[in-house]
Structure 1
Amino acid sequence: MVTVSPSKSEASASWAYALQLPHDPRAPRIARVTLRAVLAGHGLAHVTDAAELLTSELVTNAYRYSTAAATLRLRGLGDGRLRIGVRDANPHIPPPFDRRPGPLRPIPAPVPVEGDGGRGLFLVCHYADAWGGCLFGRGGKLLWCELGPRPAGHAVAA
């Protein structure tokens, strides 16, 4: 059974949701429908289009390269910012999430034009304000990205 569980911190006015997604080709659609409802409920309509694209790509990656269920994590960071994370059972962090972007390490060029796939995570890096990945001790990984306006003078580290 798919579950959604909200939590709210009184002190920071941030919020978080986690959605267990079955290993099923319909998982990206389920994630998008849930995302739209969450963003509408929290007044984040300004990031809906980009958030849907990035969520679809992260969930699709989890479905294609893992053999188990995944977890979609949505977190309101305050000031109209959103963090999207997808955890799956595959312990490999794929490029370009395996490196940090920056002036000395730009986002690498995507796959050749004639390639059949491999563009999804490059889209995430292009459209997100910040992104990254981390491994979990017992296996699996979390790929994440952030969207929304940044407060003046605030840099987001990937």
Structure 2
Amino acid sequence: MPDTTPWEYSLHIPNDLRAVTVSRRTLRLVLTLHGLIGLVDVAELLAAELVSNAVRHTKGPAALRVRWSPPGTLRIGAWDTDPEPPEPASPALRAEEREEGRGLTLVRACSDEWGWYPLTRNGDRGKYVWCEVGVARRPVTRRPA
């Protein structure tokens, strides 16, 4: 049974691609301990995309932030040092033609809501990209090929 009290975790990560795996495993553990095993798969996918973007497209450190708001909303976000807005891939391009932006397309498709906002702290600029999923979210079903 999911927690009925709100909670939040932050994981500060270096600019290292190995941080994606560390973030996914940490998130899996946190969600499992809070009784949210039904959200683990989609949450891991979303966190991996957000953290991957933060690490690949910036030069500084990053952070993963996870917040549970009862009765059933999980917000996953990644902070990075690049103040520029995230750019989803152009829908006009075929998937195999896209060099970047596929992760945000996945985030948009697999979350209930997503967004971003700029951040300034101690004179440093950056951004926070977030998405939300709810416990009532139904799994995506695929049609047979």
TM-score normalised by length of structure 1: 0.76
Residue 109 of structure 1 is matched in structure 2 by 91
State whether residues 44 and 80 of structure 1, in contact with CA within 8 Å, keep that contact through their aligned partners in structure 2: no
Specify every segment of 5 or more residues in structure 1 that has no aligned partner in the other structure, as ranges. Answer: 1-11, 97-106, 151-158
State whether residues 111 and 119 of structure 1, in contact with CA within 8 Å, keep that contact through their aligned partners in structure 2: no
2:26 is matched with which residue: 34, 55, 64? 34
State whether residues 60 and 81 of structure 2, in contact with CA within 8 Å, keep that contact through their aligned partners in structure 1: yes
Q: 2:19 & 2:110 partners in 1: Cα distance?
A: 21
- 1:147 deviates by 0.6
State whether residues 90 and 139 of structure 1, in contact with CA within 8 Å, keep that contact through their aligned partners in structure 2: yes
* Change over 3 Å in CA distance of 1:111–1:34 after alignment to 2: farther
1:51 is matched with which residue: 39, 43, 46? 43
State whether residues 87 and 101 of structure 2, in contact with CA within 8 Å, keep that contact through their aligned partners in structure 1: no
Residue 131 of structure 1 is matched in structure 2 by 114
Could you give the per-residue CA deviations for residues 36-61 of structure 1, whole angstroms, max 9, x where no partner exists? 01000111111110001100000000
* Change over 3 Å in CA distance of 1:111–1:14 after alignment to 2: farther
DSSP-derived class of the 2:132 partner? strand
Residue 67 of structure 2 is matched in structure 1 by 75
Amino acid at match of 2:133: L
Specify every segment of 5 or more residues in structure 2 that has no aligned partner in the other structure, as ranges. Answer: 137-145
- 1:115 deviates by 2.8
Residue 142 of structure 2 is matched in structure 1 by none
Could you give the per-residue CA deviations for residues 15-71 of structure 1, whole angstroms, max 9, x where no partner exists? 000000111110110000100010001111111100011000000000111101101
State whether residues 39 and 135 of structure 2, in contact with CA within 8 Å, keep that contact through their aligned partners in structure 1: no
- The sequence identity of aligned pairs, in percent, is 43
Higher helix share: 2
> What is the count of residue pairs matched by the alignment?
129
- 1:111 deviates by 4.2
* Change over 3 Å in CA distance of 1:45–1:68 after alignment to 2: same
The runs of at least 4 aligned residues of structure 1 exceeding 6 Å deviation read none
Residue 65 of structure 1 is matched in structure 2 by 57
